[in-house]
Every structure is written in structure tokens, then in C-alpha cells.
Amino acid sequence: MPPQKSHLPSMPASTRRTFLSLVGALGLGGALAACGGDSGGLDSGGGSGGGKPTLKQWYHLYGESGTEQAVQRYAQGYDKAAVEVQWTPGDYESKLSSGLLSDNGPDVFEYQLNADMVRSGQIVELDDIVGPVRDDYTGTDITATSLDGSVYGVKIVDDTGFLYYRKSLLAAAGVQPPKTMDELIDATRALDRNGVKGLFIGNDAGVTPAFGGGALLDLVLWSAGTANLTADNKVGFTTPEAKDSFRKLQQLAQSGSILLGAPTDFWDPSAFTQELCAMQWTGLWAMPKILETFGDDVGIVPWPALSATVGKPVTFLGGWTSMVSAKATDVDMAKDFVKWLWIDNAQAQEDFNLNYGFHIPPRKSIAAGAQKLQEGVAAEALRIFNESAVAPNPMWTPKMKSAFADAATAIVRGGGDIDAELAKAQQTVEAELARLAA
Amino acid sequence: MTAVQTPPAAARAVGARPRRRGSMGATPAFWLFMGPFLAGLVVFVYLPIAWSFVLSFNRAQNTVQAREFVGLQNYIDLLTPGPFLDSLWTFTIFAAIIVPLTFVLSLLLAVLLNQITIARAFFRSAFFLPTACSYVVASLVWKLSIFNGVRFGLANQVLSLFGVENIAWLSSVNPPWYWLVIATVRLWLQLGFYIILFLAGLQRISPELYEAAYVDGAKAGWQTFRHITLPQLRTTSVAVLLLNLIAAYQAFDEFYNLLGNSSLARPPLVYLYYTAQGNQDYGHGSAGAMILAGLIVLVTLLQNRVYGFGRPE
């Protein structure tokens, strides 16, 4: 799952404004950090007091209050090194990529695994610390953090998404929770009444990656039983099923019954809680606010299958992964810290995932024992996650995603030709695959 | 500065000595005052440009080091039909909307402001004030309040009085309403600055020219505007066109904040930002930046040739 999909979702409005206003400043900072090797100096902390070595750990900004204090608290508990936590409001992605290019980057950081980080030697293997507990992670977690059979990250937060619906509105319109794309299109049309739109999948109709948009870019393929890349790393989005799925999404987007132009995007439940739409595709993170607003009048289902015979209902695996920089001052120490905090420390993992926002602790044993995931819609969420979540493929690079999203935008929003647009994307993706294979 | 007014021959006769002493004294002062600025310019502008130039001939994926020379491949990739050429097309549409509109509106408002006799300072400030606002803030106001796509957006509320359905200004593709949002936010932000330029130009025109025209029987209004005001504003007009066009080339903030990485309308800088920062592909990013810089230089030189910017009037 692309990082912007999950790092924006949980931000409240005020932090989003801060985010936008800081984007420029951080971009500049990143550019400066990139061009002068020793221009940082502020946080190099080389001398470190008390004789303990220093570990630099970077996070993006989690919107939920209390999270920053929590990670500071965990960091203080590590006794082999002084851990300097850097909490990053704004464009974490740019800052992190600049940081990893320079010598002043983090020792330990959170991000999503992608093949280029491995190919360019930015991160180190973590097989030795994950190996012994590998079975305590879901298969999707392991897939999302592995490349060429080696594990490069430790999941610290699992996120996922659902189609939330208002039971009362569905009953009034006489429709069932949709299981196939045709049912979804019919339901969306039927629910579009009295100034309330049928469905919200983002202002971009789910296909344009902007500030966490592009929610359906993977789902449109997964729900048709295919994926952007096949298991043997060939283009998977040009199959007849994939094209059918695009046709259905095009139909949905042009139905006139989906909500467009809402103040916030798919990651924020406001459109749903302000009754601008009867159904919304959004994340697990939004569940507390939705339940608080509508109580029992809410149900969830995964994204519908392409049809009763093709594909299956799906959702995504999101969240964050802790990784160790190859440029870490002491790689072994950094690995030890990751193991101590995110593998061994069950209490911290449950606290971090469930006491501030609402996420699934990645270790199965912790998720299964967590009180807050035992009943009601939350229990249903855990079940859907375990059954239907699909892992992102680390070989799917940002450049491939851009090309694919351009095609999807042209098809779904612009009504463009499906074959021609996908063929264009295929060219770029194949060039990227060739580069990665070299 | 008296030496400037001395005829050249006399200056030579007075002797080179004092002048040389003067320049020797001035050199350390020159470096003292200019040094920090020049150092900043070299370190933060020229070095990155030079480095970009080097990177543009290399494959630089997830690195800013020139490790793998690929010759002109990055340039070839960008100049074959694809998103970069599309972004230049987007820029062309944008420039075709924004440059003439800004030019005409700022000239019109400047002429009006120049003639106004009451509350001059107030009106000038009122038009200049938006220039002080940041593009990011203005974009958010436009996106969240004025052109919000649901019923509580200002534009939709006004339209609903006339029975018009809600319009999703930024999401709608047919018709592409997002151009309206993009164009109005930039007009609001930049008009004030160009008005000031035109006002300065207008105030430099000698009133005697108009008086002479009236004596010769010219009528106030279009005739004097066409034959006196416009020709006298030539230098200012060229500056406005040039600055405006370059600003349009560099459009980033409003597109980035209003549309993100959308292939529907993605100007060159936004595309290059996502190429370099998003895809971590610094080779193509640098090559694109070089092409763009080359284009800006070319257009500037061309305009110079056509309009004679900076040539004595």
C-alpha cells in the first residue's frame, strides 16, 4: 500500500492544514539536505551524552493525539542506546527519501517496502530478527515486507479498509449490502436520493493519487482476481477480467450517483458522517468516528467482487513498516532496537495500535487477544482483514503506479479507451520491470 | 559620482591614479557586501543546476549520485509522446488562459486606478493585498470554501438560488470546471502585482503628451489610449508579458494543492516534482528541469528579439 494512503487518513483537519503549509518548507529543507552532505548538523547528535550511543528513529505524523508521547515513552525504555525520535509533520515521504540519500538520515524509520530501496542498498535484511516469529504474522504482512525471499521490514501497524454503509438507508431503498460490482452500481443508483449521494470513493473516483487518493487503483484489479503484477512479475492489468473491471468502475463513476467534490477525501469519514452519502469506502482508522456518529446503524463489507463468478471481495493491507537504514551508525544496534520495540514488546504494540487510533496489531497473537477487536463491527473488521486483505507487491514501484494511475484516470474519469490507455501504462511498467531485472 | 558627469577626455586627463586607488579600496568592500550573496547563489542555485545537468545524463534511481552514464536517454524518454509532453500541453492551455487575461485585466484596472481621485491609497492597497497571500492558503480557500463541490460551497450556494444543481468544481472532467478554479485563484493572487507595474508605467508618461494631443484635436478615451498610453507602456507591457509567461511556466502550488498528481491537468513542474520526489527518479527529473530551463531561456530570448525588452526607447 502506498504510504500516502495511510499517513493522511488519520489526520484531523488542523494537522492537514499544517501539513499543506509545511509542504513547501520541508521540500526546501529536503532539497538543501540533499545537496550539502554536512549541511545538517542540527540533529547529528554525534557526541551523545552519558556515553550511550544514539539511534535516530523517524516517524511520520500520526494524527491521533497521544501517539507522539507514546513513541517517545517507548524510546526512553530502551536502555542500550539513547533514541532520538523525529516526528515529522507534513511531507514525510520527501523528507525521508532525502534523508536516506544523505549521511544524516535515520537509523530506524517507518515506511513501506519498495524494490528500489532494496536494489539501491538503502535498507538491510531483517530475516534474523523476524525469522523466529515469522508465523505470527499474516501471510500478507510477510509478502508486503519481503523481496526475493528476504524480509526487510517489521510491520508496526496494520491498516485496512471497508465499504461502510448505513443499514437504515439501505433498508429504506430496499437494497442489500453489495457483493458484486453490478450490485454496487445498482445500490449506488438506488441510494442516490433526497440530496444524499449513493456512494463516496473519493473526489478522484478512486483513481488519481493525490493526497492519499487513488483508493481503488489496486482494488479494481484484485476484485477481478488479478493484480498489477503477476506472481512472476509480469504485467497483470491487461487481462480481459481487468478490462471488464475497469468498464464497471467507469460505469460506476459516470453513473452520476457517486459523491464528488466533498471537502475531504476517501480517507476521512466526514462525507459519510455528515450524511452526504449512504455508503463510503474508507479505512479502519475511521471506524471509531463512524460508530460514534451512527452507533448500530452501520455495517461493513469488503470491496465487491467483479461478478458472482469472477474474482472475490477484497480489501487492502496498509499500515507502516519499520526498517533499518544501511547507513545506520550501528546496524546491529538498530536491528536490536527494532526487535525490542516492534517484535518483543507486545504491550507497546497493542498500546500503539489500539489506544490512540484504531489499527490492527500486526502480530496475530496480539490481535487475537486484543479486547477492542473482540465484538461487533470491530470483530467483523478483523475477520474481513484476515480473509480478504491483499498485500501490495514491493516490486510495484512509484513510477509504475504513476503510469497506471494516469491510465486509470483517463479511463474512469475521462471516459478514455481502456485498451489504448492500459497499453500505454504497460509500456512504462515493462520498462521499469526490465530496469529492476537488470 | 562626479566622475560620471566629467567628459571622458577630461576624466582621462585627470589621471588614472585616483580611480585605480578608488577601485582598490572598493574591491574588498565589494566582496564584503556581495560575498555572502554570491556564495549563497553559487551554493544553492548554480551548484544544484550544474549537478542537475550532470545527473540528467545518468540513471539516478533512488540516488543523487551520477553512477551510470546513459547519454541522452533521459532526454529522449521525456521528449517522446508521454506525460512530460502532455504536461507542456497543459502548460500551453494554462498560459493561453492566464497570460492574456492577466495582461488585459491588470492594464484595465491600472488605468482605472490611475484616474481615480478619491480614496486612491485605499483602492490601490485593496487590489495589491491578495499578492501578499500565499498560493497554498489561497488554494485551500478556493478548494474548501468557494469552490467546494457540495451544497455548502459558496459558488454552489449562489448557483442553488437559481436552481442549478451542485457542481463538483475540481472533480468534474466534462466540462473541465477545474480550469475555472485554477485560473481564478491565480488571477486573484497575481493581478495586484502587475497592476503596480502598469501603474508605475502610467505615471512615467508625461502629461504634456496628452495635452499636446488634445491641442491637436485628439479625443480623450480610446484614441489617446491607443496612440499614446499603449505605445508609452511598451517596455512595461513586455515586462508584464514576460514575467507572466515565466510565472505560468513555473506554476506549481495551485495545481499541486488543488489537483495533486492528476494527469488531467499536470503542468511541467508538478510532473517533475513527482518524477524526482515521488518516483525518486532524479535522472529524468533533472533532464526535465534542463529542458524546461532551456525552454524558458529560449522564450525569453525570443521575446527580447520581438519586443526589444530592455532596449532604450
The per-residue pLDDT for range B175-228, each reduced to its tens digit, is 889 999 999 999 999 999 999 999 999 998 888 888 898 888 888 788 888 888
pLDDT digits 0-9 by tens, A69-119: 999 999 999 999 999 999 988 788 888 888 888 888 999 999 999 888 898
Secondary structure (3-state) at B281:
strand
Cβ pair A415:B48 closer than 8 A: no
What is the grid cell recorded at A215? 483508493
Q: What is the pLDDT of residues A411-428, one digit of tens each?
A: 999 899 999 999 999 999
3-state helix, strand, coil in chain B (%, to 5): 75, 0, 25
Confidence of residue B311 (pLDDT cuts 50, 70, 90): low
ipTM for the assembly = 0.80
Contacts with B, A 128-167, CB within 8 Å: none
Å from B253 to nearest chain A CA?
A: 9
Q: Report the predicted TM-score, pTM, of the whole model to 2 decimal places.
A: 0.81
Band (pLDDT 50/70/90 cuts) for residue A17 is very low
Under a CB-based contact definition with an 8 Å cutoff, are residues A388 and A317 in contact?
no
Contact between A399 and B137 using a beta-carbon 8 Å cutoff? no
Q: What are phi and psi of B247, to 5 degrees?
A: -60, -35
What is the pLDDT averaged over residues A364-390?
89
- Average pLDDT rounded to a whole number, residues A384-393: 91
Query: Across residues B153-176, what is the average pLDDT?
Result: 88
Residue A46 confidence (pLDDT): 41
Confidence at residue A3, expressed as pLDDT on a 0 to 100 scale = 38
Please answer whether residues A39 and A108 qualify as being in contact, where contact means their C-beta atoms are separated by less than 8 angstroms. Answer: no
Closest CA of chain B from A85, distance in Å: 24
Average pLDDT score over residue span B53-59? 91
A436 to chain B: nearest residue by CA? B61
Instruction: Report the C-alpha gap between A36 and A40 in whole angstroms.
Output: 8
How far is the C-alpha of A254 from the C-alpha of A82, rounded, in Å? 55
- The reported pLDDT for the residue numbered A41 is 34
Give contacts of A 349-408 with B, CB under 8 A. 397-399, 402-403, 405-406
pLDDT at B24: 58
Q: What cell numbers appear for B162 in the block?
A: 437559481
For residue A207 the three cell numbers come to 483513481
Please check the confidence at residue A263 and state whether its pLDDT lies above 90: no
Please say if the pLDDT value at position A222 is more than 90.
yes
Q: Which backbone phi and psi does A109 adopt, to 5 degrees?
A: -150, 165
**Nearest CA of chain B to the CA of A23: how many Å?**
9
User: B66 or A404: which carries more pLDDT confidence?
Assistant: A404
Which pLDDT score is estimated for A35?
Answer: 37
Contacts of B181 in chain A (CB under 8 A): none
CB distance B171–A204 less than 8 Å?
yes
